[in-house]
Amino acid sequence: MEALLQYLLTGLSAGAIYSMIALGFYVMWSAAKAVNFTFGDVFMLGGVLTVVLREMGLPLPMAAAAAILIAALSGAVIERVFVRPFNREANAIGWMLTTIAVGTMMESFTTATYGPLGRAMPTPLVEQPVRIGGAGIYLQELLLPVVLVAMTLALEAFYRRTVLGRAMRAVAYNRVAAGLVGIDADRITMLAFALAGGIGALAGFLVAPIVQASSSMGVVVGLKGFLVAIIAGIANAPGVVITGLMYGVLEKFVEAYLSTAARDAIGFTVMILVLLLYPQGIFGRREVQKV
């Protein structure tokens, strides 16, 4: 029982990170029908920049806020320079290549300047694990699902209750119609990428105390976040969140009862099977075109 609880808690914690990354993909996709493929590198910026700014003497909250702001700006720049010019025509795929290229550049630059090794980001929440029913977990890890739920609710409120959020939904629903009613769709898309950048960086900042901040910390997580978004159906925020949490827990149970080495192979197999059964994703809806 203790072990089951342990796998559940650590699985929820890992899954929360996948969900946050997948939410970033959701925000980008909703606005642009394109994503930053190497979104894991924006996630990495959240951890690495916080560590660097802390080493420069900033207190943790300020360092984290500045890192998230910089990552949001970088998200906007990526949209303006590396996505928009390559996503003007229907079915354009140039943005895939350019976002992969810019992600590689970001990772290489970080490795060259920050160094190839991880650095610790000590916080009071990782000093001592807490015991819940015999299972152990750090408060920092418990914080992750809590922040995820809060982030999802805030995002939903933002989309429903703010002018900017409604504009984003309008662009997501019909870009041309949104333009006809005076919404600057390009600007809204850029803001959506900035928002996604902020979400990714927040996730990176939250997880860095547990896993170390390094230039490569976003590679695997970014890929799994994308996987979660696809399994869920990338256009459904609650679905993305639920799928991420489920995927995290599934991984832990696979590690515990099947095979540690085969964990990712099993995860990707599940993804393929789910896509065979639900081509739009578990929570995705088939797009109907009226003619």
- Residue 118 CA: distances (Å) to CA of 64, 158, 183, 217: 17, 35, 43, 8
Query: Which tokens in the block code for residue 274?
Result: 């789910």
- For another protein, the binding residue among 33, 60, 77, 111 (CB under 8 A) is 111
Give 137 or 203: the residue with its C-beta nearer to another protein: 137
Residue 116 binds another protein (CB under 8 A): yes
Residue 211 binds another protein (CB under 8 A): yes
- For another protein, the binding residue among 135, 151, 231, 245 (CB under 8 A) is 135
In whole angstroms, the minimum distance from the beta carbon of 118 to another protein comes to 5
Q: Cβ–Cβ contacts within 10 Å for residue 106, how many? A: 21
Query: Which tokens in the block code for residue 56?
Result: 């420069």
DSSP 8-state class, residue 235 = T
Residue 136 binds another protein (CB under 8 A): yes
- For another protein, the binding residue among 220, 269, 279, 285 (CB under 8 A) is 220
Element (H, E) at 202: helix 185-211
Q: Cβ–Cβ contacts within 10 Å for residue 180, how many? A: 9
Residue 123 binds another protein (CB under 8 A): no
In whole angstroms, the minimum distance from the beta carbon of 196 to another protein comes to 23
Residue 264 binds another protein (CB under 8 A): yes
For residue 107, how far is the Cα from the chain centroid?
17
Coil, helix or strand at residue 261: coil
Q: Interface residues with another protein (CB under 8 A)?
A: 3, 6-7, 10, 14, 111-112, 115-120, 122, 126, 129, 131, 135-138, 210-212, 214-216, 219-220, 252, 255-256, 260-261, 263-264
